[in-house]
Chain A
Amino acid sequence: MDVVILVVVGALVAGVVGLAQRWHAPIRPTVEIDLSPRALPGYTLLSLSRGFAAYLLSLVFTLVYGTIAAHGRRAEKVLVPLLDIGQGIPVLGFLPGLVLGMVALFPRTNVGLELACIVMIFTGQVWNMTFSYIASLRSIPSELHEVARIHRFSFWKRFRTVELSSSVIGLVWNSMMSMAGGWFFLTVNEAFTLGDRDFRLPGVGSYMAVAIEKGDRSAMAWAVVAMTVMIVAVDQLLWRPLVAWSQRFRAAEVSGEREARSWVLDLVRRSSLLRRLRLRRRRLAKTPAPSAAAPPETAPGSDDAGAGFRALLLAVAGAAAALAAGLGAWKLVRLLSSVRAHDWLVLAAALSATFVRAFGALALSVAWALPVGILVGRSPAWSRRLQPIVQIVASFPAPMLFPLVTGGLLALRVPFSVVAAVLMLLGAQWYVLFNVLAGASAVPPDLVEATDVYGVAGGARWRTLFLPAVFPFLVTGLITAAGGAWNASIVAETLVMNGRTLETFGLGSLITKATREANFPLLAAGVLTMSLALVLINRLVWRRLSRLAETKYALNR
C-alpha cells in the first residue's frame, strides 16, 4: 500500500513538473486591475464564477468517480486509497508547477491560467465531497437495491431514485464546506505572481492584492466587503435553502415531528456527520469491502457479457494507470538524481522549519480556541450570538488578510519567520474553534448534572468531563487545521508586499523559490518531501488520535 502511495505521489509530482518544464515565456496579455470600487462587482462575479465552475467540476467528478468506486468491487480497492492520497498531499505545493504548465499549454490567452485556477480550487474542494458520496452509497440499505432490481430500474432511474437521493444530505453539507474552502485557493490563485512574472487574473483576490501593493486602504476595505457579501449571499441564497430542501431525504422521517432549527443542533449534526464520515472513510480506506471476498454474484446470462466487458475495461484502465504511474515515477527518479546531497540536507532542514511553524500554529489555535470554544459552547445564548460571525469569518479566505496582518506584525518588530507561523494560524484556527464549539454544545446534559451532583467542579470538571468530551471534535478540527496550515505554508513563507519580497526559510518558500528559478529537480524534491511528510504525519499522529477518539472518547454509549 505504501509503495503504491509513493509511486502515485511521485508520478503526480513528475507530471506537474514536466508540464512546467515546457514553459517558455508566453506572449500572454497581462491583466490590469482597476482599483475603483465600481469595478469590484464585476471582479466579484468573476471570482464567483470560478468558484462555481470548480464546484461543478467537483460535483461531476464526485458523481462519476463515486459511482465507479461504489459499483466495481475491484475498482473500489484502487479508487478509494487514491482519494485518500489526494486529500493528504499539499495541493498548493503543485500550484506554481500547475500554473506554469497550463500557461505553457495556452501561451497566447489566459485560458490556461483560468484552467489552472479552476483546477486548483477543484483540488481543494473535491475530496470530502467524493468521500461523503462513496460513504452514502455504501450505506444504502440492501433492501433499496433489491427493490431497484425487482422493479427493473434502469441505470439512470436507480441513480436518481436510489443513489442520489440517499446521498443528497451528505453531499449538500460537504458542498457547503468545500465551497468555503475553495475561496482560499481562489484568492491565492488570482493573485499569483512569481518573481517579476505576473499571473494575475481579474477577480476579487487580485483586486485585494493590487490594493495592498499600492497601499490603497479604501480599496482594501471594499475588497473585504465584497468578499464578505459574496460569502454571506452564497450561504443565504444557495446553501440554506438547499440544506432545508435536502431534509426531505432524511432516512428516518417521523411524520409530524418538527425538525429542530436551532443552530446548535445544526452544528452538532454537521459535526457528527463529519465525524461519521471520517470514521467511515477510514474504514473504507483501510479494509476492503467485506463482500469482496465473497464469490462473484451469479448474474443472469445477459449480464455476463457486460460484466466481462466491464472487467476488461477495468483491467485496461488499471494497466494504463499503472503504466503512467510507473513512467512518472521513473521520470521522477531521473529528475531527482540531479538533486545534490547538499540540497537534500537543506530540504530536510526546511521541512523541520515548516514543521515547527505548522505545529506552532496548531498549538496556538488549541491554546485559545479550546477554552474559548468550551466556554462559549456551554452557553447556548453566547453560541447563538457568535455562530453567524464564526461561520462567516471561518469561510473568509485567509490569504486576503496576509498582507494586512504581516504589515501590522512587522511594525511590531516581529521577525517574519514568526509572522509566517501566525499567517498559517490565521486560516487554521477556525476549524479548531468550530469543532470544539460543536463538541461543547453536544456534551450530554446528564453528565453535566452528574458532575454537579457529585461536586466535581473547577479544573476537575474540565479534566473529567469537558476536555474528554470535546476530544473527538478537537481531533477532527486539528486534522483539517493541519491540512490548512501546511497548504498555507506555501503562500505564507514568501510574501510580496509593497514591491518587497519577504521570505523566511522553510519548505514552502523553498518550493516557491525553486519554481521561480526554474529549478525543476529541486521543485520536484520539495513537493515530494512535503507530500511524504504529510502522509507520514497522517499515519503516525492523526490516525492514532482518531482511533483514540473513536474508541475511548466516543460519546455514543
Chain B
Amino acid sequence: MSAKPAPVPSPPIAAARGVDKVFADEGGRERVILKGVDFEVRPNEVVAVLGPSGCGKSTLLRILIGLISPTSGRVEQHGEPLVGIHPGAAVVFQNFALFPWLTVEENVRVGLAGRAANAGEADARVRAALAAVGLSGHARAFPKEVSGGMKQRVGIARALVGRPELLCMDEPFSALDVLTAELLRTEVYRLFTERQTGLSSVLLITHLIEEAVFLGDRIIVMGANPGTVRKEIVNSLPHPREYRHPEFVRMVGRIHDVVTRVHLPEEEAVSAPAHGRRAETPLIPLPPARMGEILGLLEILADNGGSLDLFAVDTITEYDFGRTLTVVKAAELLDLVDTPKNDVILTELGRKVVAAPYDEKIPLLRPQILSLGTFCLVVRELARDPDTPMPAEAVKDILAASLPHVSASELFETVVNWGRAIQLFEYDAATDQLALFSGREDAAEA
C-alpha cells in the first residue's frame, strides 16, 4: 500500500457527481443535507471522510453504495451508473447492526448471501473470516453475550466474508470505549495493509482527526449546513504510522487548521464593540451549543489566564474537535471570545460574564443574544400577540423559511436553550409551545 499505484486511468470504484440530497424533517420542512457533492473512491486507497456530526457524511456513504438515492446528481460504480446496491461493497455499521437472534457464525454468514459457490466453501470462508478477526472461539455465541468490541469484530468479519472490493466503515469505533476502539483500530489497520482478500479500497467515515490521519491515504474534510466537500488532503505518511511521530503530529495539526478554517472562517469574526448594544446581525445559523457549555468554556479560559490554544481547549473538554469548535463559535458569535488564528481569547465582556454571579450574567448576555437576527425574528413573531404561546412547529416553520439549510429542530433547540438562559422565553415541553417570559421586566432590572 505504501507504493502508490501508477497513474493508470482506471475508473473509480464508486463516485458521486454533483449529488444533492434533501430530506423532509418531521414537520414536513425540507432540509438540504448534501449540496453539490463530488466525491470518488479510487482503486487501492483508503479514503477518510472527516466532518462534524450532521454534515451528511453517513448519508454520502449510503448514497455511494445505493442504500438511498440522491435527490439530484449521478452515482457511478466503475464508471457505470449505479443500479440498486453497489455489487462490490460491504458496510461496517456504527452500531454493529447484528441480528440478535443469530449466532456470531450465522451473522457472519449473512455477509455471504448468494456469494458462495457451495456449502463447503461457505463454511470455509465463514471460518476464515472469524479467524481473521480473532473470533473462532465465539462462533456459537449470540451477539448479546459478547462485548462491544467483539460485536464490531463480528461486523467486520461479516463485511469481509463476501470478499468485497470496497469496504465502507461508518464511524466503526465510535460506539466503543477508548481502549477497545484503539485496539480494534490497530487491527483494522493491519487488515487494510495486508489486503489479502481482494479488498481494493476502504471508505472510512469519521469525526476524529487522528483516526483519519492514522488510517486514511486521502482525507476529505466536509462542512455542514449543507454538507459539502470543502477540502481534500493527501496523506502520504509512510506506514506503519505512529501517533507520536513528529510527521504524524504535524499532519494532525495541519488538518486541525483546515477544519478550523472550514468551521471558523476568519471573515465571520464580526468586529464589534465588546460591550453595549450591537446592530442587529443578519440571519445566521446559531452553532448548536448549549448555554451551559458556552459558560463552561469561559470558565476554562478564565482559569487559564484568559487565553488558550484551540487544541488545548479541545484537550481539556475531551469533546471531539467539531464539537469544541461549535462551542467556540457560539461564544464568538456572542462576543464573549475572540479567535485570532488558533487562539481563543476572552473578551472584556467575556471576563465580566465569568466574574458575575449567575443572576447578573443574564443582563450581560441579554443584549448580545437579542441582537442576533434569529432571536429578533422569533421575538418579533411572539410579540405580535404576547399573551398567546406559539406552537413550536410554527416557530420552526419560520426558522426554516429563513434558514433552509439548517435543521429547524436543532436550531429551535438552541434558540430555546439560549432564550431560557436569559429568561426571554418560556417553553412548555408538554404542549410544545413557546411564549415570551412573563416576568421579564423584573429580571431585566435585577
Q: Which listed residue, B65, B114, B143, B432, touches A453 by the CB 8 Å rule?
A: B65
Digit string of A295-323 for contact with B (CB within 8 Å is 1, else 0)? 00000000000000000000000000000
A460 located at the interface, meaning its Cβ lies under 8 Å from any Cβ of chain B in the complex: yes
Q: Is there an interface contact between B412 and A460, defined as CB atoms closer than 8 Å?
A: no
Digit string of B132-165 for contact with A (CB within 8 Å is 1, else 0)? 0000000000111000000100000010001000
Residues of B within 8 A of A456 (CB): 110, 113
Question: How far, in whole Å, are A450 and B98 apart by their CA atoms in the complex?
Answer: 8
Give the residue name and chain of the B residue nearest to A244 (CB): B430
Q: Is there an interface contact between B429 and A446, defined as CB atoms closer than 8 Å?
A: no
Instruction: Give, as a whole number of angstroms, the nearest-CB distance from B292 to chain A.
Output: 10
Using a CB-CB cutoff of 8 Å, which residues 53-105 of chain B contact chain A? Answer: 62, 65, 67, 85, 89-91, 93-102
**Given the interface contacts A460-B113, A557-B143, does A453 sit within 8 Å of B91 by beta carbon?**
yes
B420 located at the interface, meaning its Cβ lies under 8 Å from any Cβ of chain A in the complex: yes
Q: Is there an interface contact between A447 and B97, defined as CB atoms closer than 8 Å?
A: yes
Instruction: Give, as a whole number of angstroms, the nearest-CB distance from B429 to chain A.
Output: 6
Digit string of B161-176 for contact with A (CB within 8 Å is 1, else 0)? 0100000000000000
A444 located at the interface, meaning its Cβ lies under 8 Å from any Cβ of chain B in the complex: yes
Q: Which of A109-117, A130-138, A333-341, A548-556 lies at the interface?
A: A548-556
Question: How far, in whole Å, are A248 and B431 apart by their CA atoms in the complex?
Answer: 9
Residues of B within 8 A of A25 (CB): none
B111 located at the interface, meaning its Cβ lies under 8 Å from any Cβ of chain A in the complex: yes
Using a CB-CB cutoff of 8 Å, which residues 101-136 of chain B contact chain A? Answer: 101-102, 110-115
23 pairs of residues in contact across A and B, judged by CB atoms under 8 Å: A247-B430, A253-B429, A255-B417, A256-B412, A256-B413, A256-B417, A257-B429, A258-B392, A259-B430, A259-B432, A261-B26, A446-B97, A447-B97, A450-B99, A452-B67, A452-B85, A453-B65, A454-B110, A454-B113, A460-B113, A464-B99, A468-B99, A552-B100
Residues of A within 8 A of B417 (CB): 255-256
A449 located at the interface, meaning its Cβ lies under 8 Å from any Cβ of chain B in the complex: yes
B32 located at the interface, meaning its Cβ lies under 8 Å from any Cβ of chain A in the complex: no
Question: How far, in whole Å, are A553 and B427 apart by their CA atoms in the complex?
Answer: 40
Give the residue name and chain of the A residue nearest to B416 (CB): A256
Using a CB-CB cutoff of 8 Å, which residues 261-298 of chain A contact chain B? Answer: 261-262
Instruction: Give, as a whole number of angstroms, the nearest-CB distance from B10 to chain A.
Output: 24
Which of B115, B144, B417 has the most A CB atoms < 10 Å from its CB?
B144
Q: Which listed residue, A244, A255, A447, A554, touches B99 by the CB 8 Å rule?
A: A447
Which of A255, A454, A471, A554 has the most B CB atoms < 10 Å from its CB?
A454
Q: Is there an interface contact between B162 and A454, defined as CB atoms closer than 8 Å?
A: yes
Instruction: Give, as a whole number of angstroms, the nearest-CB distance from B142 to chain A.
Output: 7
A141 located at the interface, meaning its Cβ lies under 8 Å from any Cβ of chain B in the complex: no
**Given the interface contacts A248-B429, A255-B420, does A450 sit within 8 Å of B91 by beta carbon?**
yes
Q: Is there an interface contact between B96 and A557, defined as CB atoms closer than 8 Å?
A: yes
Question: How far, in whole Å, are A63 and B113 apart by their CA atoms in the complex?
Answer: 54
* 4 tightest A-B CB contacts, nearest first: A446-B97, A256-B416, A248-B430, A468-B101
Q: Which listed residue, B111, B429, B430, B432, touches A255 by the CB 8 Å rule?
A: B429
- Residues of B within 8 A of A (CB-CB), count: 42
* Other A-B pairs beyond A451-B110, A454-B162, A455-B113, 13, CB < 8 Å: A256-B427, A259-B430, A446-B93, A449-B62, A450-B91, A453-B89, A456-B110, A456-B113, A460-B113, A464-B102, A552-B100, A552-B142, A557-B151
A260 located at the interface, meaning its Cβ lies under 8 Å from any Cβ of chain B in the complex: yes
Question: How far, in whole Å, are A451 and B429 apart by their CA atoms in the complex?
Answer: 38
Question: How far, in whole Å, are A342 and B192 apart by their CA atoms in the complex?
Answer: 78
Give the residue name and chain of the B residue nearest to A453 (CB): B91
Instruction: Give, as a whole number of angstroms, the nearest-CB distance from B286 to chain A.
Output: 13
A465 located at the interface, meaning its Cβ lies under 8 Å from any Cβ of chain B in the complex: yes
Give chain B's interface residues, CB within 8 Å of chain A.
26, 62, 65, 67, 85, 89-91, 93-102, 110-115, 142-144, 151, 158, 162, 392, 409, 412-413, 416-417, 420, 427, 429-432
Question: How far, in whole Å, are A232 and B340 apart by their CA atoms in the complex?
Answer: 63
Q: Which listed residue, A244, A449, A455, touches B97 by the CB 8 Å rule?
A: A449
A462 located at the interface, meaning its Cβ lies under 8 Å from any Cβ of chain B in the complex: no
Q: Is there an interface contact between B412 and A446, defined as CB atoms closer than 8 Å?
A: no
Residues of B within 8 A of A454 (CB): 90, 110-113, 158, 162
Instruction: Give, as a whole number of angstroms, the nearest-CB distance from B136 to chain A.
Output: 21
Question: How far, in whole Å, are A261 and B25 apart by their CA atoms in the complex?
Answer: 13
Question: How far, in whole Å, are A257 and B410 apart by their CA atoms in the complex?
Answer: 9
Question: How far, in whole Å, are A77 and B158 apart by their CA atoms in the complex?
Answer: 48
Q: Is there an interface contact between A258 and B97, defined as CB atoms closer than 8 Å?
A: no
Q: Which listed residue, B26, B143, B162, B416, touches A260 by the CB 8 Å rule?
A: B26
Q: Is there an interface contact between A453 and B101, defined as CB atoms closer than 8 Å?
A: no
Residues of A within 8 A of B158 (CB): 450, 454
Q: Is there an interface contact between B95 and A446, defined as CB atoms closer than 8 Å?
A: yes
Give the residue name and chain of the A residue nearest to B430 (CB): A248
Residues of A within 8 A of B142 (CB): 552
Question: How far, in whole Å, are A446 and B68 apart by their CA atoms in the complex?
Answer: 12
Give the residue name and chain of the B residue nearest to A445 (CB): B97
Instruction: Give, as a whole number of angstroms, the nearest-CB distance from A454 to chain B.
Output: 5
Residues of A within 8 A of B420 (CB): 255-256
A245 located at the interface, meaning its Cβ lies under 8 Å from any Cβ of chain B in the complex: yes
Question: How far, in whole Å, are A244 and B98 apart by their CA atoms in the complex?
Answer: 35
Q: Is there an interface contact between A247 and B97, defined as CB atoms closer than 8 Å?
A: no
Q: Is there an interface contact between A453 and B85, defined as CB atoms closer than 8 Å?
A: yes
Digit string of A221-258 for contact with B (CB within 8 Å is 1, else 0)? 00000000000000000000000110110000101111
Q: Is there an interface contact between A244 and B431, defined as CB atoms closer than 8 Å?
A: yes
Using a CB-CB cutoff of 8 Å, which residues 474-524 of chain A contact chain B? Answer: none
Q: Is there an interface contact between B85 and A444, defined as CB atoms closer than 8 Å?
A: no
Question: How far, in whole Å, are A54 and B432 apart by their CA atoms in the complex?
Answer: 33
Q: Is there an interface contact between B99 and A465, defined as CB atoms closer than 8 Å?
A: yes
Q: Which listed residue, A257, A450, A468, A557, touches B144 by the CB 8 Å rule?
A: A557
Instruction: Give, as a whole number of angstroms, the nearest-CB distance from B103 to chain A.
Output: 10
Residues of B within 8 A of A262 (CB): 26
Instruction: Give, as a whole number of angstroms, the nearest-CB distance from A76 to chain B.
Output: 30
Q: Is there an interface contact between A258 and B432, defined as CB atoms closer than 8 Å?
A: yes
Q: Which listed residue, A245, A248, A258, A449, touches B91 by the CB 8 Å rule?
A: A449
Instruction: Give, as a whole number of angstroms, the nearest-CB distance from A543 to chain B.
Output: 19
